[in-house]
Amino acid sequence: MEKLLEKSVSKISELVIGAAASSGGTRSKEIKIGGETALPFLYSEGEMPNKPVIAVEVWDVIPEDWPVIAEEFKDIVSDVMKWSKKAEEWGADLICLRLESCHPDNKNNSSAYAAETVKKILKTTKLPLIVIGCGHPEKDQEILPQVAEAAKGEKILIGMATKDNYKTITAAALAAGHSVIAESPLDINLAKQLNILVSDMGLPFERIVMHHTTGGLGYGFEYCYSIMERCRLAGLAGDKIMGTPIINMIAEETWKTKEAKTPADEQPAWGDLHKRAIGWEIACASGYLQAGANILVMEHPEAIKTVKDTINKLSK
């Protein structure tokens, strides 16, 4: 019997994060994502020229929402520079800096602080950089343009651009030569609309990464998975607007859940907290790999190692 193969008519956009010396930057390497002509790891149906990559999320404050991480790595997470260097040892392909302290409900740090922190990170580590704001749309409009200017020439990935602040963030990325993460709710039409709005400002689709407000395991995971898969299928079917790489904020969604925070003495049936929490991150990341994730933003070194091994085994 002849094997039935599905051949795509298009491919996912290829995007470069980081600029090495040959490209006018100071990064030790350049990370390429995208370029697929088939669903994840289906090498019999197409190509997957660039393996999915892992970024380690680094906060500029202690992540109190992640008690297991905050306790296990207490000597590291209190210093963003130490955390960045340790992320290299953990096998990170990229650093994902979250400027949480700039949130008005946190320390409300200034845009000057944000720019200076990014400059320090760029000196501390030579890995390509992703910079995420504080999640407050108005505040991000203040800090991210300064961040973009501070990292000019390094081709960072900057986010999150939403329907409320995409104009400011896209303009800043255009001026400094960076790429943008377009974040939309879990709706394929809203994701497409935001990609169109960002590209209408002059940023090519080849410099857009989609983020579908990743859900953790459970109902949120299943819903996000299905939206990602539909976007990937649309991109492979010729819809250039939907054919952009995808990022998933795995650490953000898994380490704040009750399953990754509740001690075993409160929930004996759930088993050891340490193993359970790491398993939660591994399971979430492994699932999104199959949905088409190009960048997994993770945290725990044991989870990172396991998922990297999985990527290598699945890759041709």
Indicate the average pLDDT of the chain.
94
Note the pLDDT of residue 186: 83
Query: Rounded to a whole number, what is the distance in angstroms from the first to the last CA of the chain?
Result: 25
- The C-alpha angle with vertex 296 and arms to 224 and 77, in degrees rounded to 5, equals 120
Q: Tell me how far apart the alpha carbons of residues 33 and 37 are, in angstroms, rounded to a whole number.
A: 13
The pLDDT score that the predictor gives to residue 213 is: 74
> Is 242 within 8 Å of 231 (Cβ atoms)?
yes
Nearest-angstrom CA–CA distance, 239 and 73: 44
Q: Which two tokens stand for residue 147?
A: 């961040």
pLDDT given at position 42:
93
Name the band, by pLDDT with cuts 50, 70 and 90, for residue 187.
confident
- pLDDT of amino acid 39: 94
The answer to whether the beta carbons of residues 291 and 90 sit under 8 Å apart is no
Mean pLDDT value across residues 42-51: 94
What is the band of 218 on the pLDDT scale with cuts at 50, 70, 90?
low
What's the token pair of residue 143? Answer: 């800090």
The percent helix, strand, coil of the chain (3-state, each to 5) is 45, 15, 40
In this predicted structure, the answer to whether residue 93 has a pLDDT above a threshold of 60 is: yes
Domains in the chain and their CATH numbers? 14-314 (3.20.20.20)
Task: Give the pLDDT mean for 216-223.
Answer: 68
- The proportion of the chain whose per-residue pLDDT surpasses 90, expressed as a percent, equals 89
Residue 237: C-alpha distances to residues 9, 36, 188, 308 (Å): 6, 12, 15, 29
Band (pLDDT 50/70/90 cuts) for residue 53 is very high
pLDDT at residue number 62:
96
Distance between CA 300 and CA 284 in Å, rounded?
13
> For position 112, what pLDDT does the model report?
97
Give the CA distances from residue 149 to residues 21, 65, 143, 158, 171, in Å, rounded to whole numbers and listed in that order. Answer: 18, 30, 10, 11, 11
**Tens digit of each residue's pLDDT (9 = 90 or more) over 103-151:** 999 999 999 999 999 999 999 999 999 999 999 999 999 999 999 999 9
| Predicted confidence (pLDDT) at residue 159 exceeds the cutoff of 70 | yes
How many Å apart are CA 94 and CA 225, to the nearest integer? 23
Give the pLDDT of residue 5.
76
**0.85 cut: is pTM over it?**
yes
Q: Name the helix (H) or strand (E) containing 110.
A: none
Q: Is 181's pLDDT higher than 80? A: yes
pLDDT for 223 equals: 82
pLDDT at res. 215: 58
Which is nearest to 250 in space by CA: 288, 279, 290?
A: 288
Are the beta carbons of 122 and 93 closer than 8 angstroms? no
Token code pair at residue 268: 């004996």
Residue 185 pLDDT class (50, 70, 90 cuts): confident
Encode pLDDT of 271-315 as tens digits.
999 999 999 999 999 999 999 999 999 999 999 999 999 999 999
For residue 214, the model assigns a pLDDT of 65
For the chain, strand residue ranges (E) read 14-17, 31-34, 53-59, 94-98, 129-132, 157-161, 179-183, 208-211, 247-248, 295-298
What pLDDT sits at residue 7?
81
